[in-house]
Structure 1
């Protein structure tokens, strides 16, 4: 069948739906049918699913002219999604095509939610089109005879590639693809990505920098001018001393008319605890929303989440308070409005959330920005500019993650075994391991067989055997079973399931929160007040309670930091505060009272200025610095500066930081002139000073826990019988100390330090920030009291010590004193 005839089938189907294919969809079909690989760059809600399901089905029709009569069963294409929640949606899109075109092709899902019965059925007969996750793909590679399963697979599509890039799940995908390229004879690899700054590099990582696939690939961009309107909710009364404690709830009454005037509204929060609080507070004040409002976050059980998603589609809900669990791809046409509560910390995340409204080609997306404190209005203004200029972050890929590679090699050893000389060239073709040396490869092979030099006398680390023909193979059933249970790269704080005493499942919660509760404590979770009874195994048992509670679970996502792009946009926006009114946005104009108060004691810095403020209070001497670089960078920079000051004068400081700046609080005054004269912000000797300044051993030790779990050195336990986090921590700490004392050239031990500096402290960004500061004029302001800029940093430090109620009272007193 000719290409024109195939295109006619597709166009005919589109016209039956009263649609017309976009040029980017046709371009993708054409490239795919020519046998090319590629990356499709298209925004959410633009029809990208049909851009790739169609050519997969058309290719099948082309190769099987009598497809309506004869059908050869077996896997023909794989669709990878990073979120299980999206799989049902993707399946429906595929089934519409396969059924309407009478192809007899079957569509199946294989994720952590797939039933045992369905998996068993798939073992005998795979669906033609399989929707799965990176982890489930690795599980398939761990099954015996996997080459037979994949041999006729002609396409693999990696959806939401921008979400996987720059994560260990992304590396898992790179390794899986490196194997499938060899196993599948005519494989086409395609990625789908929303906008990121480094699209060309994203394609290179997906296909492999030295792989022939890259040379035979295309980058297809959907040139759709999607209109995104950003509206800031500007408080009627502006705080002159902003603080971070109130989660934006003072603007709750401004949000309700927006909800009432829209079909469906999604309210995005940055953290699960903030999501829980907003849901509770709206219902408390506006009980008429009961039954019309729901909550959605990753810790709520699957059935509830699916019910919420379906209710949005049916338009039976007015509002859903959610977290990033609803960021990606789910097709919610009825969503009219999105409200972003608090700064989203990154442009890409903000655009992704905006795209949830008007989720149809050509429809306008409307997103409201609700600041949780006054300074976030600067972020709101910066976001408007970012949307206009399509300024989006890069996603930086990992290099040499040996823990993921060890897990992958164990996966191959568990299935049919592997020959190192065949696998090594495949691994060298990936982006992550392009620079792996022969020496490192030999070390990894030794590690699989012996468990590193210092552990070789312990049998439990000897997992892989070398057979006579040179094949590396796992022959122990226990080792194989343990490995399959532990496949994956997401290592959070250990989660406990929350269940009613009689057994009903509510969701999951982090162990670090639950371990602080005593029997009888009441906390809010999944929109209800629950009384904690006891921990039994890996479950927290609870009962419903009528008591009020201010305990809200906190999750690890609560400390998001600005991206580099966001920091840059924020600084540019802040500098407009000193421009004539005609050149200021409405948000900056609204902040005039705060800026006026700031100028009384200090200045609003200009692009060439770096501001330092000092003042004394009952707490001690405050020294505050404003790089405007984001929380992660300020964590490293504050430690670095405190260490360098301690070399000049013996002093102890407590550190506090937020996205705007950082504070050194000490019991005696620091001579700022000394800092300026001794060039303490220099990027020279940064790495060695940073290692000495931070407890880098402690940070690396925490990072090593994740590496030990991913590489399989520490076993996390069987389902429902998980190993407690404190036991995991102590097991991994023991290993860390052994390597530190006896084997400091261990690749996994060294990786812990690399990841601490490159990913947690963002060493590269820190260096660039120091180099930028070196070019600026230092402006030191000796203030008599806290300024509007310093106030959020001071209150952030107090939060660590005080409960929410006490904090609110303390801040009211502080604000009253400062505004006299």
Structure 2
């Protein structure tokens, strides 16, 4: 059957559904049938699944003219999805098309939720299409005779590639594809991506930077003008001194009419705790919504989540309050409206969420922006421009993730074993490991067979044996079983118990915060100033401190930070607001903020694009210095610590550090000589790495990062399904290994990786350097203020929240506001 006839079959099917295929769908069908690989870029809800599943079925029909009566058994296509929740949607769409085209195609799902009975059935007879996750694909690669399973594989489709790129799960995909390309000579590789900036690089990472697959590939973009309408919920009265902390709950009454006016509304929050609070407040204030409003986030059990998803589809729910658990691909046609509570921190996330509404071709996506404090309206204005410009973030791929490579090689050794000379070219063909040297390759092989130089005395690290013919193989059944249980790269954050030295439990705190402290540092927790004595296993041992200055914990919920793209857009809006001859055509959001801007100009300035603002003032808490890079909280945390360290070299002075996405504060009981700070060029990017090491206790941060690396590489075992090893044992085991490598084997690639990831991913060292270079080109404007300004107020109140209960905080802020309004 000719290609035009095949495409005609698909067009007839579309016509029977009263649909018409888009140009991007037909282009994809043609490219696939021409045996090309590629990346499809199309907005959410535009029919991406049919763009790639249709040609897979058509290709089978072409090769098997008797497809209606005879069936060739065996796995023909793999569809990889980052979320288990998406697999049901894909199964329904693909099964329907295959069945109505008259094929005998079977579709199966294999994820962490798949029952043992179903897995056993799949082992006996694989479905034609397998919908799976990166982890489950690697589990299949760990099976005996896996080559037979994949030998007739025709296609691999990676859905939501933008979500996997820039993660270690993406590295898993790269390695898995490198193996499948060798096993199946007729394999076509396709990625599907919605919102992403670096599309060309995304294709290169998926197909391999120097591969034939990349040479024989296409980029297909859907030229669909998806209309996204952004509306801001602007408070009737604008507070002149905005503060965070009420989670946007003061606007709850403005949300109810929006819910009532739509079939179904999704309210997106940024954290699980915020999701829970909003649900409780809405139900308490509007009990008539009982049975019509539900909640959805990752910590809720699977059955409830599936029930909520189905209830959205059949329109039995009026609203769902959710987190990023509903960000991706689940098709909810009845959803009319999205409400984003608080800044989404990134353009791509905002567009992804907007796409949940009007999730059908040609429909308008309507999203409301609800600010949790007034200045977030600047973000709303910036996001509107981002939607117009289609400006979205890049996803930065991982490089040299040796922990994932160690896991992958052990996976191959568990199944049929491997010969290094055969596997090395495959590894080197991936984007992640394109720069791997012979020396590094030998180190990795040595590591999986001998446990590296410093662990050679311990048999438990000698997992892989070298057989007489040179094959690397795992022959120990216990090692193989433990490895299969631990395949994957998602490692959860650990919480540490905070206890007094003399006994007495205070609470739990997340390790990413504690990792930045060193013994003697003081931090505020549960309303008390505590001095860190030491971290032992999973316990933070402390004593009370009378010191006035302290570090304030940043919590997991607040850990989302502005993307570089979002920071740039925000600065542009801020510079627009700085113009004295304010643009009359400015957005409604900027116009609504005029009272705040006027007050800010009265006390200080709004910095323009060639100015960097520093504000200083004194309160009863001490001397405040506020800096405004508008670069996101991760960069501000690192920059604040760096500046505090450099100032302490000029004069002995200690600080409390507080920060948000707009700026950071150094608070001290002594006045900072700010002219000295400016004159000594303390914002210089010179000696950045050295100073960061000293200011942030980088070794302790890397030690914490190493826990994840040790788990992924299989150095520590997380336990059996019903008997998981406690976090404190994982941490102590990995800390012991980290210390061994630090003292005896500093060239250990996993040890070095912990430091590299700390700087590249946790501290965003590249962005920090760029922001320092930008500050170097700007004129520093130091404003000595009499009192806090509108811009500084959210940062100050953020710090207070960690010391006071919500009621006391609200009372305290009311008093502060009263004083500021009088002055």
Please indicate the TM-score interval, normalised by the length of the shorter structure. over 0.9
Deviation at 1:731, TM superposition (A): 1.0
- Secondary structure, aligned partner of 1:267: strand
Deviation at 1:814, TM superposition (A): 1.7
Deviation at 1:769, TM superposition (A): 0.5
Please point out which of 764, 767, 772 is paired with 2:766: 764
Does the CA contact (< 8 Å) of 1:272 and 1:555 recur in 2?
Answer: no
Does the CA contact (< 8 Å) of 1:75 and 1:130 recur in 2?
Answer: yes
Deviation at 1:722, TM superposition (A): 0.9
Deviation at 1:578, TM superposition (A): 2.9
| Aligned equivalents of 2:495, 2:821: Cα separation in 1 | 45
Please point out which of 780, 786, 789 is paired with 2:788: 786
- Secondary structure, aligned partner of 2:715: coil
- What's the counterpart of residue 378 of structure 2? 378
Does the CA contact (< 8 Å) of 2:494 and 2:510 recur in 1?
Answer: no
- What's the counterpart of residue 734 of structure 1? 736
Say yes or no: does 1:81 pair with 2:81.
yes
Residues 134-168 of structure 1: per-residue CA shift (max 9 Å, x gap): 00000000011100000001000000000000000
- Secondary structure, aligned partner of 2:584: helix
Of residues 403-412 and 682-691 in structure 1, the stretch that sits farther from structure 2 once superposed is: 682-691
- What's the counterpart of residue 545 of structure 1? none
Say yes or no: does 1:395 pair with 2:395.
yes
| Aligned equivalents of 1:66, 1:247: Cα separation in 2 | 61
Say yes or no: does 1:13 pair with 2:13.
yes
Does the CA contact (< 8 Å) of 1:312 and 1:335 recur in 2?
Answer: yes
Deviation at 1:495, TM superposition (A): 9.7
Of residues 792-801 and 320-329 in structure 1, the stretch that sits farther from structure 2 once superposed is: 792-801
Give the aligned CA root-mean-square deviation in angstroms: 1.4
Residues 55-74 of structure 1: per-residue CA shift (max 9 Å, x gap): 00001001000001111111
Deviation at 1:511, TM superposition (A): 8.5
- What's the counterpart of residue 22 of structure 1? 22
- Secondary structure, aligned partner of 2:186: coil
| Aligned equivalents of 1:68, 1:396: Cα separation in 2 | 45
| Aligned equivalents of 1:188, 1:470: Cα separation in 2 | 32
1:213-362 mapped onto 2 (5 Å cutoff):
213-362=213-362
| Aligned equivalents of 1:485, 1:338: Cα separation in 2 | 39
Does the CA contact (< 8 Å) of 1:164 and 1:170 recur in 2?
Answer: yes
- What's the counterpart of residue 556 of structure 2? 556
**When the two structures are superposed, what TM-score results if normalisation uses the length of structure 1?**
0.92
1:256-655 mapped onto 2 (5 Å cutoff):
256-493=256-493, 556-579=556-579, 580-655=582-657
Deviation at 1:755, TM superposition (A): 0.3
Does the CA contact (< 8 Å) of 1:493 and 1:511 recur in 2?
Answer: no
| Aligned equivalents of 1:556, 1:642: Cα separation in 2 | 24
For structure 1, list consecutive stretches of 5 or more residues without a partner in the other structure: 497-509, 515-553
Does the CA contact (< 8 Å) of 1:581 and 1:589 recur in 2?
Answer: no
Does the CA contact (< 8 Å) of 2:642 and 2:695 recur in 1?
Answer: yes
Does the CA contact (< 8 Å) of 1:166 and 1:398 recur in 2?
Answer: yes
1:123-138 mapped onto 2 (5 Å cutoff):
123-138=123-138
Deviation at 1:794, TM superposition (A): 1.0
For structure 2, list consecutive stretches of 5 or more residues without a partner in the other structure: 497-506, 512-553
Deviation at 1:738, TM superposition (A): 1.0
| Aligned equivalents of 2:246, 2:409: Cα separation in 1 | 48
- What's the counterpart of residue 551 of structure 1? none
Does the CA contact (< 8 Å) of 2:658 and 2:798 recur in 1?
Answer: yes
- What's the counterpart of residue 204 of structure 1? 204
Residues 461-483 of structure 1: per-residue CA shift (max 9 Å, x gap): 11110000101111111111111
- What's the counterpart of residue 774 of structure 1? 776
- Secondary structure, aligned partner of 2:626: strand
Does the CA contact (< 8 Å) of 2:493 and 2:510 recur in 1?
Answer: no
- What's the counterpart of residue 675 of structure 2? 673
Residues 476-523 of structure 1: per-residue CA shift (max 9 Å, x gap): 111111111111101112599xxxxxxxxxxxxx98689xxxxxxxxx
Does the CA contact (< 8 Å) of 1:38 and 1:219 recur in 2?
Answer: yes
Deviation at 1:804, TM superposition (A): 2.2
- Gap change, CA 1:287 and 1:243, over 3 Å in 2: same
- What's the counterpart of residue 150 of structure 1? 150
| Aligned equivalents of 2:510, 2:784: Cα separation in 1 | 41
Of residues 809-818 and 607-616 in structure 1, the stretch that sits farther from structure 2 once superposed is: 809-818
| Aligned equivalents of 2:630, 2:510: Cα separation in 1 | 31
- What's the counterpart of residue 530 of structure 1? none
- Secondary structure, aligned partner of 1:339: strand
1:639-718 mapped onto 2 (5 Å cutoff):
639-718=641-720
Deviation at 1:101, TM superposition (A): 0.8
Deviation at 1:727, TM superposition (A): 1.4
Deviation at 1:584, TM superposition (A): 1.8
Residues 536-578 of structure 1: per-residue CA shift (max 9 Å, x gap): xxxxxxxxxxxxxxxxxx9835310000000000000111113
1:87-126 mapped onto 2 (5 Å cutoff):
87-126=87-126
| Aligned equivalents of 1:614, 1:14: Cα separation in 2 | 66
| Aligned equivalents of 1:425, 1:230: Cα separation in 2 | 49
Deviation at 1:751, TM superposition (A): 0.4
- What's the counterpart of residue 181 of structure 2? 181
Deviation at 1:767, TM superposition (A): 0.7
How many residues of Structure 1 are paired with residues of Structure 2 in the alignment?
768
Deviation at 1:636, TM superposition (A): 1.0
- Secondary structure, aligned partner of 1:392: coil
- What's the counterpart of residue 517 of structure 2? none
Please point out which of 802, 808, 817 is paired with 2:819: 817
Does the CA contact (< 8 Å) of 2:39 and 2:192 recur in 1?
Answer: yes
| Aligned equivalents of 2:450, 2:794: Cα separation in 1 | 52
- What's the counterpart of residue 504 of structure 1? none
| Aligned equivalents of 2:394, 2:427: Cα separation in 1 | 24
Does the CA contact (< 8 Å) of 1:511 and 1:725 recur in 2?
Answer: no
| Aligned equivalents of 1:73, 1:631: Cα separation in 2 | 54
- Secondary structure, aligned partner of 1:20: coil
| Aligned equivalents of 1:598, 1:671: Cα separation in 2 | 23
- Secondary structure, aligned partner of 2:274: helix
- Gap change, CA 1:137 and 1:332, over 3 Å in 2: same
| Aligned equivalents of 1:189, 1:56: Cα separation in 2 | 11
| Aligned equivalents of 1:280, 1:116: Cα separation in 2 | 38
Deviation at 1:250, TM superposition (A): 0.3
Residues 166-216 of structure 1: per-residue CA shift (max 9 Å, x gap): 000000000000000001120000000012110000000000001110000
- Secondary structure, aligned partner of 1:650: coil
Does the CA contact (< 8 Å) of 1:449 and 1:462 recur in 2?
Answer: yes
- What's the counterpart of residue 528 of structure 2? none
- What's the counterpart of residue 529 of structure 1? none
- Secondary structure, aligned partner of 1:583: coil
| Aligned equivalents of 1:243, 1:381: Cα separation in 2 | 19
Residues 362-417 of structure 1: per-residue CA shift (max 9 Å, x gap): 10000000000011000000000000010111101110010011010110011011
Does the CA contact (< 8 Å) of 1:464 and 1:473 recur in 2?
Answer: yes
- What's the counterpart of residue 537 of structure 1? none
Residues 102-124 of structure 1: per-residue CA shift (max 9 Å, x gap): 10010000000111110010010
| Aligned equivalents of 1:352, 1:267: Cα separation in 2 | 13
Does the CA contact (< 8 Å) of 2:801 and 2:809 recur in 1?
Answer: yes
| Aligned equivalents of 2:282, 2:298: Cα separation in 1 | 21
- Secondary structure, aligned partner of 1:582: coil
Does the CA contact (< 8 Å) of 1:567 and 1:630 recur in 2?
Answer: yes
Deviation at 1:809, TM superposition (A): 2.1
Does the CA contact (< 8 Å) of 1:248 and 1:370 recur in 2?
Answer: yes
Does the CA contact (< 8 Å) of 1:283 and 1:289 recur in 2?
Answer: yes
| Aligned equivalents of 2:488, 2:421: Cα separation in 1 | 25
- What's the counterpart of residue 530 of structure 2? none
| Aligned equivalents of 1:271, 1:611: Cα separation in 2 | 31
